[in-house]
Structure 1
Amino acid sequence: MKLHILLGSAAGLALAACGGADTSPTSTTEAETPPSVADTPDSLHEKLRDVAAGDYSLDKNHAFLTFKVGHGGGLSQYRVNFTDFDADLSFDPAVPEAAVLSVTINPAAVQTNYPGNYKSSHQDSPYESWNEDLSQNPQWLNAGEFSEITFTSTEITRTDDLTGQVTGDLGFLGQTKPVTLDVTYNGATNVPWLGERDLIGFNASTTITRSEWGMGAFLPLIGDEVTVEFSGEFVQDE
């Protein structure tokens, strides 16, 4: 649900999470450096200095997107995994504010922990499982009518050397609204099977109010605030 992709989420996720800005005072003879101008390599955090600028794609084998919501009036946090989502990231560690992130999520692909006999407790339900109910029911994710959840970044700001905020447009249940992801850049590495291509990782999270998107079923037994969490890796494109 929010990505938010994502998402990435994710959603990317990407990357306001980068390089520290120089806060030392400048003399009156020095021209101010616009925030859009690239940092020098020496000014970047060590986790960013050797990262290649370019386009990155989500490594789906090492990406996790989950949402959680209060259940039983706050007795527990109910968690659901999205199992089919993708993200693309254009990223320059020297100019993180210029990064572009796009995320897509398949709302029909959810995984819940429901070991009980769904049909015995939902005898009138047209669905065969709780996963199908959650994904297809018009009062929930309504995947039959809205087959994608999307997130596209519109603004990225740094909050520290390796953290930032990614604001973008979330498309969900037929509506598009701005949301902001809190993002942490986890670093980069190289692995033998990818050759010289970089592998970078992020964590991201955001919270939406589901009733604002028209999903008001079972309030307040099921909470109104839904938190979306992403952790994953992106691979430099060839």
Structure 2
Amino acid sequence: MTATQNGVQRVSGRAVTSDGWPVPFAVVTIIDAAGQQIGGTPVGDDGSFVVDDLPAGPCTVITSAVGHTPAARPVGGAGFGELGRVVLTRTGALELPAPGRWEIDPVHSRISASAFHLGITKVHGRLRTFTGHIDMGPDLAATRVSAAIEAASVDTDDERRDEHLRAPDFLDVLRFTEIRFDSTEIAQHTADHWTMFGDLRLKGMANRVALDVVYHGAGPDLWGGERAGFSATTQLSRDDFDISWNQSVIAGIFAIGRTLRIEIDIEAVRLPG
């Protein structure tokens, strides 16, 4: 923070959800050390905000939005207070899904993967057929997740490429029909941000992986049931699962990158009982 010439300060930032989406309906309120409001503004469409001409001195920036828990950030002294991302947690995310079994709804869920092609762009694909469930405990320490994916369901919108991905060079789906994940531990960082550790079995090899998980909350659906939403990302090395095929196009550049980025969106339905 650097002092401004006229002894006032500016505060700026961007209101976002835990997974980085802007909260365009958020409102910023700034109070001084005595609890008096000294400034405020609605945020822009991208969640960004700037408040100028604030009196010099310590203050607190409160960012709030309907359906979200307010976030309070202190700013001290005169100058420019750049808050960066101000994360607003969805109110529903403060409560875990009810204990019991939650089945993954494949119609409203998605598993996708991407890898660099020729070092300059990405190839995107999906694994279209999968099942799974969440055994929700009274807390995350007692919660476990299991999922099974049909390896042959890989789809990159190019049949010739997909046939190669199903072949022994890659997934070898005739020998290894299923990709399986079983969680072993969930570490909670905030109410809606967790890390899930587990064993991923792919092409006959098992390795421990870590998924960065965002919990989007739970609530009633249109049919009298309960649903919960999650998203997760991780990166995998193909070499860890004996998927080492490649072609060197130019020295140091391969046709397909060795690192896969996995992105997962899950909607789960609570089973009765």
Which segments of 5 or more consecutive residues in structure 1 lack a partner in the other structure? 1-44, 119-128
Instruction: Tell me the TM-score normalized by structure 1.
Output: 0.70
Alignment of 1:93-132 (within 5 A): 95-114=139-158, 129-132=160-163
Q: Partners of 2:98 and 2:206 in 1: how far apart? A: 33
Residue 267 of structure 2: aligned partner? 233
- 1:165 pairs with 2:195: yes
Q: What runs of 5+ residues in structure 2 fail to find an aligned partner?
A: 1-90, 248-253
Alignment of 1:87-236 (within 5 A): 87-92=132-137, 95-114=139-158, 129-135=160-166, 137-193=167-223, 195=224, 197-218=225-246, 220-236=254-270
User: In the superposition, relative to structure 1, how do residues 104 and 75 fare at CA in structure 2: closer, same or farther (>3 Å)?
Assistant: same
Aligned-residue RMSD, C-alpha:
1.8
Structure 1 CA distance for aligned equivalents of residues 148 and 97 of structure 2: 25
Provide TM-score, normalisation by structure 2. Answer: 0.61
Identity %: 28
Q: Which consecutive aligned stretches of 4+ in structure 1 deviate over 4 angstroms post-superposition?
A: none
Shift in Å at residue 224 of structure 1?
0.6
| C-alpha separation in 2, matches of 1:156 and 1:83 | 26
Change (3 A) 1:186 1:46: closer
Q: How many residues align?
A: 177
Residue in structure 2 matched with residue 123 of structure 1 by the alignment: none
**Aligned residue type for 1:178:** R
1:110 Cα offset (Å): 1.5
CA shift for structure 1 position 81: 0.6
Task: State the alpha-carbon separation in 2 of the partners of residues 177 and 99 from structure 1.
Answer: 20
Equivalent pair of 1:97/1:156 in contact (CA under 8 Å): yes
Match of 1:60 in 2: 106
Cα offset, 1:225, TM superposition: 0.5
Structure with more contact order per residue of length (Cα contacts < 8 Å, sep ≥ 6): 1
Q: Which has the larger radius of gyration?
A: 2
Report the alpha carbon displacement of residue 48 of structure 1 after superposing the two structures with TM: 4.1
